[in-house]
Structure 1
Amino acid sequence: MNATKFALLALALTLALPAVGAETPQKPGKGLHEIPDPELNLMRGRYTVGGNAVAWFGVTMVSTWQTTTGQSLQGAMTLGMDFSKGGNVPKVTFTPIVSITDANAPLPDSSGRSIDGSGLNNVAGVSQSVQIAGDGNRASNVMHLNVRNDGVVPGVSGSIAGNATAQSGDASAVASFDGNAARLQLTIQGQGAVQQWLRSGSVGQSVQLTSDGQLVSNRLQIDLVRESMAGNLPLAQNVAQAITLNRGIGGIGGQ
Structure 2
Amino acid sequence: MNITPWTRSAVLLALLGMAPAYAADAPANDGQRKAGKGLSEIPDPELSLMRGRYTVNGNNVAWFGVTMISQWQAGKQSAESALTLGMDFTHNTTVPKVSFTPSVTVTAADAPMPETPGRSVESAGLQNVAGVTQAIQVAGDNNVASNSTQLTVREGSAPQEPAAAPAPAATAQHGGVSAVAQMEGNNAQVQLQMEGVGSVQQWIRNGSVGQTIALSSDGQAVTNRMQIELVRQTLASNAPLSQNVAQAMNLVRGIGMGPGQ
TM score, norm. by length of structure 2: 0.69
4+ runs deviating over 6 angstroms: none
**How far, CA to CA, are the matches of 1:222 and 1:148 in structure 2?**
11
Q: Which residue of structure 2 aligns with residue 163 of structure 1? A: 169
**Is the Cα–Cα contact under 8 Å of residues 56 and 225 in structure 1 kept in the other structure?**
yes
Q: Which residue of structure 1 aligns with residue 209 of structure 2? A: 203
- The structure 2 residue matched to 1:139, chosen from 125, 128, 145, is 145
Q: Which runs of 5+ in 1 are unaligned?
A: 1-28, 238-255
* Mapping of residues 46-195 of structure 1, within 5 Å: 48-68=55-75, 70-103=76-109, 105-150=111-156, 152-157=157-162, 158-159=164-165, 161-195=167-201
Alignment deviations for residues 100-131 of structure 1 (CA, whole Å, 9 cap, x no partner): 11245311111211111122112222221100
Per the alignment, in what secondary structure is the counterpart of residue 91 of structure 2?
coil
**How far, CA to CA, are the matches of 2:113 and 2:55 in structure 1?**
50
**How far, CA to CA, are the matches of 1:184 and 1:204 in structure 2?**
11
CA separation of 1:184/1:118 partners in 2, compared to 1, >3 Å: closer, same or farther? same
**Is the Cα–Cα contact under 8 Å of residues 75 and 185 in structure 1 kept in the other structure?**
yes
**How far, CA to CA, are the matches of 1:36 and 1:111 in structure 2?**
58
Q: Which runs of 5+ in 2 are unaligned?
A: 1-38, 246-261
CA separation of 1:136/1:48 partners in 2, compared to 1, >3 Å: closer, same or farther? farther
Partner AA of 2:42 in structure 1: L
CA separation of 1:46/1:98 partners in 2, compared to 1, >3 Å: closer, same or farther? farther
CA drift of 1:31 comes to: 5.3
Partner AA of 1:156 in structure 2: E
CA drift of 1:51 comes to: 2.0
Partner AA of 1:61 in structure 2: M
**Is the Cα–Cα contact under 8 Å of residues 46 and 53 in structure 1 kept in the other structure?**
no
Per the alignment, in what secondary structure is the counterpart of residue 121 of structure 1?
helix
**Is the Cα–Cα contact under 8 Å of residues 57 and 82 in structure 1 kept in the other structure?**
yes
CA drift of 1:179 comes to: 2.5
**How far, CA to CA, are the matches of 2:70 and 2:55 in structure 1?**
30
* Paired-residue identity, %: 53
Partner AA of 1:101 in structure 2: T
Per the alignment, in what secondary structure is the counterpart of residue 78 of structure 1?
strand
Bigger Rg over Cα:
2
**How far, CA to CA, are the matches of 1:199 and 1:108 in structure 2?**
33
**How far, CA to CA, are the matches of 1:161 and 1:46 in structure 2?**
33
Partner AA of 2:102 in structure 1: P
**How far, CA to CA, are the matches of 2:230 and 2:219 in structure 1?**
37
Partner AA of 2:200 in structure 1: V
TM score, norm. by length of structure 1: 0.71
CA drift of 1:46 comes to: 9.0
**How far, CA to CA, are the matches of 2:165 and 2:144 in structure 1?**
36
**Is the Cα–Cα contact under 8 Å of residues 109 and 175 in structure 2 kept in the other structure?**
no
**Is the Cα–Cα contact under 8 Å of residues 100 and 172 in structure 1 kept in the other structure?**
yes
**How far, CA to CA, are the matches of 1:47 and 1:203 in structure 2?**
24
**Is the Cα–Cα contact under 8 Å of residues 188 and 204 in structure 2 kept in the other structure?**
yes
Aligned residues: 199
Alignment deviations for residues 29-50 of structure 1 (CA, whole Å, 9 cap, x no partner): 925364499x78xx8x697444
Q: Give the RMSD, CA atoms, in angstroms.
A: 2.5
**How far, CA to CA, are the matches of 2:194 and 2:131 in structure 1?**
27
